[in-house]
A = this chain, B = another copy of it.
Amino acid sequence: MAVPLRLSSYVDAHRGRIVDTLLDWLRIPSISADPAHAGDVRHSASFTADLLRDAGFEHVRELTAGGAPSVYGDWLRAGADAPTVVVYGHHDVQPIDPLDEWESPPFEPVIRDGECLGRGAIDDKGQVLYEIEAARGLLQVDGRLPVNLKLLVEGEEESGSPTFERILVDQRDLLACDAVVVSDTGMWAADVPSICTGMRGLAGFDLRLRTAAVDLHSGSFGGAVPNAAHLAARLVDSLHDDRGRVTVPGFYDDVRPLTDEERASFDSLPFDERSWRATAGVPFLTGEAGRTTLERVWSRPTCEVVGLSSGYAGAGIKTIVPATADVKVTFRLVADQEPEKVALAFERWVADQVPSGVEVTVVREGAVAPALTPTAHPAVGALGRVIERVWGRPPLFTREGGSGPEEALGRVLHAPVLYLGVGLPGDRIHAPNERVVMDQFWKGLLAAGELWPELATVERWPR
């Protein structure tokens, strides 16, 4: 790093304590999708609040709208002329199954070969912690922050943020700001820094089919009665056509096509399909016909069945005709699709597919609108300068295929959304052996320490 960075000495002096804090936080199994872990999510919220207070944040409190608690804290002494920034992250984590594929227990984090392994390491406790520590560092080094900072750490991001928008609306005044900085994304590669400019939206569904009151004996009834597993399989197989396109009528109607400029930007990335495939660990790539891999994961809407269960799952076989089948379906959405419209279309499609008389229930499991950041915004330029300073190369523009409450943040708070994220493609988020690469973690901390002074120099804050 050619330029001396504001928090380099702070990091050197506090490295051990910061790592210990990270490990302590990762030990809390704050799985928001599982009601059995509700107490752990609350424990994680109070842990977060303590971290904020300890770092020097004020007005620390939990915010809820009936769901798992988010945590808020701010430092507002930069003055009325300084910009105000909301930093967003989350303290809840994904479920951990399949448990037997973890090399070490998911909630007993370890540091190994320059990586920290554990559920939540990169998604998102690690990325929240470097933000908190950057603020603490600047307060220690300078006695102040150059911007008014509001930290908002959500508690239900991994379960689809069911009440998060309600919190944003309720707390619109508290959260008023000039920009939102999301600390929950990744970069192209450790040596190819990048800035995310968009995320896909999400619409999730839990669907149950029932063909009979109870499982039936496959000898007595098999071959003459409907089988819920067969019907579920047909439904799942019907979700895509032979060209890999989602068959729900109208699904693509509102999709905003890529501009020539965006397509050129995608094409300029050093994308190596072979190594991306190796990272995924899959034997081949597939998807919507006529689209590149980056288009498929960034700018095209998709549909994935994330869970399928019917009948007997124990050892050996059981001679039954299953009476029920559960199908968990998620759609990733892109600008300008609306989750509500997709949900209605999907529910109508399901009703059309399932034979008359078969019971179907569809439960909506979270909805997130897609988000796109205007890359010409001066704050995006400031972020780019900071990343170049820390990583030594100017960042490329990318998108993320994942979903988060970013769209709601930008829309409700009426502010541009920037993404400072240090995740890498091999971090195994949502999978066993999730990790954060510690060098990326420290760079994230240093970058946050550079970003606030840099944003303080931005004079125009277009909405």
A285 at the binding interface (Cβ < 8 Å): yes
Tell me whether B325 and A308 are in contact (CB under 8 A).
Answer: yes
A27 at the binding interface (Cβ < 8 Å): no
* Interchain nearest-CB distance for A148 vs B (Å): 31
A280 at the binding interface (Cβ < 8 Å): yes
Tell me whether B328 and A431 are in contact (CB under 8 A).
Answer: no
In the complex this chain forms, how many copies of it are found? 2
A46 at the binding interface (Cβ < 8 Å): no
Tell me whether B297 and A221 are in contact (CB under 8 A).
Answer: yes
In the assembled complex, which residues on chain B have CB atoms less than 8 Å from the CB atom of A319?
94, 202, 204, 306, 330, 402-403, 430
Interface string of A392-418 (1 = CB under 8 A from B): 000000001111000000000000000
Chain B minimum-CB-distance residue to A312 = B307
A435 at the binding interface (Cβ < 8 Å): no
Tell me whether A285 and B224 are in contact (CB under 8 A).
Answer: yes
A211 at the binding interface (Cβ < 8 Å): yes
In the assembled complex, which residues on chain B have CB atoms less than 8 Å from the CB atom of A101?
214
Interface size on A, residues (CB 8 A): 98
A33 at the binding interface (Cβ < 8 Å): yes
How long is the Cα–Cα vector from A159 to B300 in the complex, in angstroms?
47
A interface majority secondary structure: loop
How long is the Cα–Cα vector from A252 to B221 in the complex, in angstroms?
19
Given the known A-B contacts A159-B316, A223-B332, A357-B284, are A308 and B401 also in contact in the complex, defined by CB atoms under 8 Å? no
A52 at the binding interface (Cβ < 8 Å): no
Tell me whether B356 and A305 are in contact (CB under 8 A).
Answer: no
Tell me whether A429 and B220 are in contact (CB under 8 A).
Answer: yes
Closest 8 CB pairs between A and B? A219-B402, A283-B357, A223-B302, A233-B236, A33-B316, A307-B311, A213-B281, A307-B312
With A160-B317, A227-B304 given, name 14 new contacts (CB 8 A).
A97-B312, A160-B316, A216-B430, A217-B429, A222-B330, A223-B296, A223-B304, A224-B293, A230-B236, A233-B235, A283-B355, A308-B309, A317-B365, A319-B430
| Residue positions of A touching B, CB distance < 8 A | 33-35, 94-95, 97-98, 101, 159-160, 199-200, 202, 204-206, 211-227, 229-230, 232-237, 239-240, 280-288, 293, 296-297, 300, 302, 304-322, 325-326, 328, 330, 332, 355-358, 365-366, 400-403, 425, 428-433
> Could you show 6 A-B contacts with beta carbons less than 8 Å apart?
A212-B281, A220-B425, A225-B282, A229-B304, A283-B358, A308-B311
